Structure 1
Amino acid sequence: MNLKELFEKKKVLITCHKNADIDAAASSAALAYALKSIASKLVLVFPEGLSKLSKKYYEELKIDLEYQKDIETLDTDFDYSILLDTNSMLQLSENVRNIIEKTPLIIIDHHIWKKKFPENIKLSVIKRNLLSTSAIVYNILKSNNIKIPSNILTFILAGILYDTKRLALVNPQVLRIVADIIEEGADYAKALKLMKHEMDVSERIARLKASMRLKVYRVGDWLIAVTRVDAFEASVARLILEMGAHVVFVVSQPKKPNIRVIARSTPDFYFKTKISLGADIMTEIGKTIKGEGGGHDTAGGAQGAGDPEEVKILCIKTLVKKLLGREVSPNIIELK
């Protein structure tokens, strides 16, 4: 992917999924850094802003790249849109989606696209084996001989650490990339330190409420949990895995009828069952709730519409059927 050949004197939009996590934020920022001196106009959009943790990295690493939380005017004309770390158009704001649909599109991602690429796709760079979009963007920048400053390198490293669960999920290729990034000036200690997160009282309350609503199901030696909470879903999912679940679904409905589901599993669950939450479970749930879903092997999400209690049961039924090859009533396997 020759950046100068593609983007010199072009107007470029760079964007990713809503509430950008560290991988989405780091990969988007790194690519924006590379293109700011090549493109005639560059607009970086993080739909609905950065996640709390991503914002912390952005500020602490002094990432000097302006960004918008949405497209400010639909009259903006772009030569290219670049979509990173996003395998569903439902993960974008409506304004961003409208711009992307009428602009030549480039996709850079490590997720599986279950649906066909949009008709306006011009180029796709999908590298599932690199485990993060940050690693893909790093390789693109290196192949274009772009000198990357240490703060951007540290941000890229953080994106890789985040999506590989601090290298718990890793392969030799990714380890070599991590070593190269550190050799070039990334601050490994800082990348790890900033990942530590202090909870405020709202997050603590969300975790406690989710624990009170928790239901647990047993299939063989696997423990599957499901709960409902309308904020801090990722934090809740982490807590429930730490409590002992192998898989957790967190259902939220901040505004009816829209519904969102996130799912997380332990690496051990994926290694032993080969069930990918993103590819095998959340895509199916997304279709059933008349929306879309996808994600990683051990982390996925879906958006659509429905009743939260019915969607909770749907999550359990979908996973159990995949595990056993047949349908089983959740009442039979629920721990009480």
Structure 2
Amino acid sequence: MLIGEVARRSGVSPRMLRHYDALGLVRPTGRTVGGYREYSAEDVRRIFHVESLRSLGLSLKQIGRALEDPAFSPSALVGDLIRWTQERLERERELLERLRAIDASAPAGWQDVLDVVALMQGLDSASAARRQQTVLVRPEGAAVPPELLAGAVLSESDPVVAGALRWALARSDGDGLTTLAAGLRSDDTGVRRRAVLAIAELPEIPGTTEALADALGDADRTVRGHAALALGRRGEEAAVPTLVGMVVEGANDVDAAEVLGTLSRKPGCAERIMAAVEGELAAPTADPATRIRLAQALVELSGDAPLEVLRRLSRDDDRAVALVASAFAGVVEQRAADGPA
């Protein structure tokens, strides 16, 4: 077959076929009397082999080695191709995220685009100081895409920079909640912790309470604790079991007790809190240290029930528990005698 017919049957252009010939990849077996390239059936099969390997991402040099070198290892090459493809996809994913961030900022001109690019470069800096400065020192009126800030929050390991990012995100025009909520589903515990902290600091916009409520079921105690504190401060009773559990475990127990005190002022919520506290006091695992922490939490609660429980604890078999509970009962009694501040 002449080159034109081979091109029609194989889908490879005559120009590329001549290139293959020049490289020695596919040399036509014969020539016509007029000197034209003439391909045999075996030559055409080799063309298809070359095209198949090209479809896997091999360079023409690699294809030549694969077809000519009997010792060439397909498995090693395929492994390299997988790694290179993964790296390329990661680069393209990063590029796509950058383009989306620029698009989300609704740039009015090229200067706006350049400002967002400068922001991204600053956030990608290896220097924590520069990342922090990038967040805090922005030109007046410069748009800061919230999704870009949210993504930076999820990846930021420096606590100072992370705090600056959360501050900027909470004050941005958008909310970045979609990105942060996705972070709550990450397999990386650190990412989930950063996500829940950022959501907790967002204004109470639609979706934040639901995201925090979902985080109450997280496998990580720290994530659950941050979610419970944020929900409790928003008056959400769903946080009560986790908050009481924090007191029992001694994990941010002082903060948890304060939030429980605020919740106890909600109609009907004090009873739920007291039921949870008394349930923990009655548990076989309630050692003296746990009972003392629960007594400390009772001081924060509203109503008459906490005082009754403290008086009962003042007769505890453990002397330390009894002394602490007696002292706290005196505090509550005095507070009741003084009346509202």
TM-score normalised over the length of structure 2: 0.22
Greater fraction helix: 2
Q: Which has the larger radius of gyration?
A: 2
Structure with the bigger RCO (C-alpha within 8 Å, sep 6+) is 1
Higher share of residues assigned strand: 1
